[in-house]
Amino acid sequence: MSLSFAQQAIPYWRLSGFYFFYFAVVGTLIPYWGVYLKDLGYSSQDVGVLSAIIMATRIIAPNFWGWLADHTRQRLRIIRVGSFAACIIFAGILLDQRYWWLVLVVSCYTFFWHAVLPQFEVITLGYLGNNYHRYSQIRLWGSLGFIAAVVGLGLVFDVLPVRYLPLFILTFLILIWLSSLSLQDASIKKSDTARGGFLQLVLQPGMLCFLVASFLLQLSHGPYYTFYTLYLVENYAYTSTAAGLLWALGVLAEVAIFIVMHRLLPQFSLRHLLIFSLVATAVRWLLIGFYADSLAILLFAQLLHACSFGIAHAAAIEWIRIHFQGSHQGQAQAMYSSLGFGAGGAAGALIGGLLWDYSAAMTYTLAAAAVLLAAVLCVVWLYPSSDAVGHPHHG
């Protein structure tokens, strides 16, 4: 499309700003949450459980909120309520840091926080309309928010104690809520055409394969998201700044792929893009697990984040857009989020927490095995579905 965002009345900066602040929370939480908990004196198993809760609430919450949004047509209101409630509840961490209090606060706060992103994806796609292929050009601002947070806090925590972490998270949560107030709801309405029953669409063999692969891919990310910073700082004596810069490099690679993804999608099938990203992810985990003492290899492994998240996520969003139409969009985005990032991420964090003290290399090896299994499943079962609409060669 030659038309610009401005010419189509797409609020590019307001949409992008929301992604920026949302993923600034992710860039604050994921790399440093384990470090924060360790600083409080918790064990690797405790860290694994408290990290798994963040992902486990994503199993139920997005589906509940997705169902509610599709049936009430109040998608933006749900985003605003969810982000505001997340702010209020997360502030509870400032009051107490005992284990069961943390379990309660994290469980409740993430239940509302996870209401936000899948529904915002639907609103963004609603604004884009026929320019859906430009989604990644808006989503890349989320990646930039992650980079700003992870690099900035890496520098901060080389000077200040990591116990200030909750204050930074709370600040970004407030900014998410404020940015949600600047938008109008442009998502697909319930009256739009939705072909076929939702469950009927989900039970297509290709869709089941896609969901299992998404689960395994995010399971493989569990040890990385939970322990990567600790792994570098404790096992290999990297500084917090160095760890933050390595995180940022990975997300910069993700940004680069998002910039060109609208050109790649018409050129390659979604099946080939997904299989390629899965194999590249397996290589990444093996490099991190066995060659973290080599900075050059670590740098290359982080560049593979362009595949393990960038290509995989953009292709997944497009897969869902093609296969789920009309009022099914919200539920489909929520299902992808809950089974992949929720159930898969939680399982990966729990398994990582149990195995980490025994062997970091074994933990990453199992992560690589999980994602290779996903690749094999996609080679065998991930083919275009007869009910897909859009671009047939995208199957």
Task: Give 96's Cβ-side CA count (13 Å radius).
Answer: 10
Quick one: pLDDT at residue 282?
98
Quick one: pLDDT at residue 187?
55
Runs of H (alpha helix) within the chain? 12-39, 44-72, 75-90, 99-113, 116-128, 135-156, 165-180, 198-202, 205-230, 236, 240-267, 270-291, 295-303, 305, 312-323, 329-336, 345-355, 360-381
pLDDT single digits (tens) 143-196: 899 989 988 998 998 899 999 999 999 999 999 999 989 887 665 554 444 555
Cβ–Cβ < 8 Å for 273, 315: yes
What are the angstrom distances between the C-alpha of 275 and each of 210, 339, 383? 11, 19, 12
Give the pLDDT means over successive 10-residue stretches in the chain (395 positions).
Answer: 50 90 92 91 89 86 82 87 95 94 95 87 83 81 91 90 94 93 67 61 85 96 91 90 92 90 88 96 97 96 95 90 75 84 89 90 96 96 54 43
Q: What is d(CA 92, CA 104) in angstroms, rounded to the nearest whole number?
A: 9
pTM metric for this prediction: 0.80
DSSP 179-204: HHTT----SPPTTS---S-HHHHHTS
Name all domains of the chain by residue range, CATH numbers in brackets: 10-189+196-394 (1.20.1250.20)
The DSSP letter of residue 337 is I
Q: What is d(CA 53, CA 30) in angstroms, rounded to the nearest whole number?
A: 12
pLDDT single digits (tens) 231-290: 999 899 899 899 989 999 998 998 899 889 888 888 999 999 999 999 999 999 999 999
What size, in residues, is the chain? 395
User: How many other CB atoms are there within 10 angstroms of residue 188's CB atom?
Assistant: 22
